[in-house]
Amino acid sequence: MKRAIWYSAFTVALAFLLPLLLTPARFGAVPEAEPEVSGKAPAEAAEAGPAPLDASLILTVHTEDGDRDMAMDEYLLHALAGEMPADFDSEALKAQAVALRSYALYYRERHKATHPEADICTSPSCCAAWIGDEALHERWGEKYELRREKLEQAIRDTDGQYLAWQSSPVLAVFHASSAGTTEAGESLGMVLPYLSSVSSPETPETVSGLNTTVEVSPEEFQACVLGAFPDAKLDGGDPAAWLGPIALNATGRVESVEIGGQSVSGLTLRQMFTLRSTDFSLSWDAAGKSFVFRVSGYGHGMGMSQHGANLMAKGGADYTEILAHYYPDTVLSTAAEAE
Ligand SMILES: [Zn+2]
């Protein structure tokens, strides 16, 4: 019942929260793995020096301790560490760096209402994940230097580069994974040509955990749905009869499901049952006496898929090809020095 109450509150606030769904990887940041890092040795790469354009561009970053000015390269290092495992291919890391830089520049031109005085923040539920140095030491341990250098290299190699559309930085949202096709921005009210749906190479064989399952007891299902849709008819009888047709959108994700005579959107169900994406099926398992969501992918599905980028990189694509694929119609541009 607690979940149902929480969910009712969420429904009321849905219109307010919708912009948050457009954060880069809401519910979809790729978890850090622990494989070996390949990359340049710290001593060798340290000679390359800082990224000059990024070093001269100062962002106002809203942190837990208040607003703080920091250079773009410092912001990017910690955001990149927060958003993509350091063991991902270097070309995927470069693509991620460009996406993060584009996103920061986009909001530098139009601050979010959640932090009107700052360009960007360190919260993954608002802007992008950001991990401070102390936490990175804890996370990476003895591999700290090697991993930090690999990320810094990706930032240096893309120094000042961002994606532009109509000569302005783009809203380069991204997500962890999509099973075959990314989501179109217009599904979430973002009619932007560079957020159109494109193919993505992930399969259950190439991305572990791409498919997930969520089982919900009929009691919990009933409480959650009635909490948000009190007119739904979910009384007694066979729970299988509670479910009506499922409507899919053009990318195969759930547009809506008829439940107890009410149309419930895929987005609502995702929030209600903490599903990893709106790419799911829903059925009643009579033997197990539970509703079963079979979910593919992780995240809102728009823009670049991080796992897809990594697979493209492993297949030989460089970061410019990855970005051109996931953000069609954009132009890879370079920031002017010391704006
Ligand atoms: Zn923010």
For residue 121, how far is its CA from the centre of ligand 1 (angstroms)?
Answer: 4
Cα 25 to chain centroid distance, Å, stands at: 2
For residue 129, how far is its CA from the centre of ligand 1 (angstroms)?
Answer: 10
pTM of the predicted structure, to 2 decimals:
0.86
Which DSSP state fits 298? B
Residue 290: beta bridge partners? 285
263 half-sphere exposure, CB direction, 13 A CA radius: 5
> Which SS3 state, helix, strand or coil, does residue 243 take?
strand
End-to-end CA distance of the chain: give it in Å, rounded.
53
Burial letters 124-139, b for 16+ CB under 10 A, else e: bebbbbbbeeeebeeb
Domain ranges of the chain: 34-172+305-334, 211-296
Can you read off the two tokens belonging to residue 279?
């790419």
For residue 319, how far is its CA from the centre of ligand 1 (angstroms)?
Answer: 26
Q: Lay out the sheet containing 58-63: strands in order across.
A: 66-71, 58-63, 120-121
Q: C-alpha distances in angstroms, 90 versus 35, 87, 206, 292, 335?
A: 14, 8, 18, 38, 22
**Beta carbons of 311 and 90 less than 8 angstroms apart:** no
Residue 177: beta bridge partners? 298
Q: Which residue, among 138, 155, 34, 145, has the nearest Cα to 98 in the 3D structure?
A: 155
Per-residue pLDDT of the chain (339 residues; tens, 9 = 90+): 344 434 333 333 333 344 444 455 543 455 554 333 333 344 444 455 666 899 999 999 999 999 999 999 999 999 999 999 999 999 999 999 999 999 999 999 999 999 999 999 999 999 999 999 999 999 999 999 999 999 999 999 999 999 999 999 999 999 999 999 999 999 888 899 999 999 999 999 999 999 999 999 999 999 999 999 999 999 878 999 999 999 999 999 999 999 999 999 999 999 999 999 999 999 999 998 999 999 999 999 999 999 999 999 999 999 999 999 999 999 999 987 544
Could you tell me whether strands 58-63 and 66-71 are parallel, antiparallel, or unpaired per DSSP bridges? antiparallel
Q: C-alpha distances in angstroms, 81 versus 57, 76, 133, 152?
A: 20, 8, 10, 10
For residue 136, how far is its CA from the centre of ligand 1 (angstroms)?
Answer: 21
For residue 32, how far is its CA from the centre of ligand 1 (angstroms)?
Answer: 22
For residue 127, how far is its CA from the centre of ligand 1 (angstroms)?
Answer: 4
**Beta carbons of 314 and 230 less than 8 angstroms apart:** no
Count of H-run helices and E-run strands, the chain: 12, 14
For residue 265, how far is its CA from the centre of ligand 1 (angstroms)?
Answer: 26
